[in-house]
Amino acid sequence: MKKDTRKIVTLGLLAALSLAIYAFESVLPPLLPIPGIKPGLSNIIILYALKRFGKKEAGSVLLVRLLLSAFLFGNAISLLYSAAGGFMALLIEIVCDKILSGKNLQITGAFGGLFHNISQLLTAMMIMQTAAVISYAPYLFIAGIVTGLFTGYAAHFLLKIKIPET
């Protein structure tokens, strides 16, 4: 298989895997009785794509996952929240990865998780036209950091798996 074809197929598979993880996560019971706290496991795949292929490819995988998940499981509002959080997280992860010289993926993931939740809170404030949602900030920030650490560690270990080329 040609290198470009292999890359496109792999990115498609990563998008499908990210969507499957997102679907699985959407049926899990809430971690805490606070709205918006989810593990963010599909970010493992985005971090993997970022490290293995680069920022454009990771953004493409994220965009495909966002559009398909909104179409299959959500609506325009859920797309808005997910896109705001997802692209802000990816942007911060790109910056962190550069600053950290590609090391400490768990720190990159933690910043991604934190800024994902910051972005979603700001989006909620704009949509609801109230600052009342800011009361969730401490819980969402801690949850974003903890889940981001986990997804960063998971992506780090996933990158260590040797995938045979055919």
Q: What CATH number did the domain enclosing 92 receive?
A: 1.10.1760.20
Residue 165 lies in a domain: no
For 160, phi then psi, to 5°, come to: -80, -15
- Please give the Cα distance from 123 to 131 (Å, whole number): 11
DSSP for 104-154, please give it.
Answer: -HHHHHHHHHHHHHHHHHHHHHHHHT-SGGGGGHHHHHHHHHHHHHHHHHH
Provide the 3-class DSSP secondary structure of residue 43: helix
Residue 110 lies in a domain: yes
pLDDT per residue rounded down to tens, the chain (166 residues): 688 899 999 999 999 999 999 999 988 888 777 777 889 999 999 999 999 999 999 999 999 999 999 999 888 888 999 999 999 999 999 999 999 998 999 999 999 999 999 999 999 999 998 888 888 899 999 999 999 999 999 999 999 997 766 5
H-type helices in 53-99, by residue range?
55-73, 76-99
The model's pTM? 0.92
- Please give the Cα distance from 115 to 136 (Å, whole number): 14
Give residues with Cβ within 8 angstroms of 145, minimum separation 6.
110, 113, 114
Task: State the residue range of the domain holding 109.
Answer: 3-159
The total of structural domains in the chain comes to 1
Residue 109 lies in a domain: yes
- Please give the Cα distance from 43 to 21 (Å, whole number): 9
Task: Tell me the Cα Rg of the chain.
Answer: 16
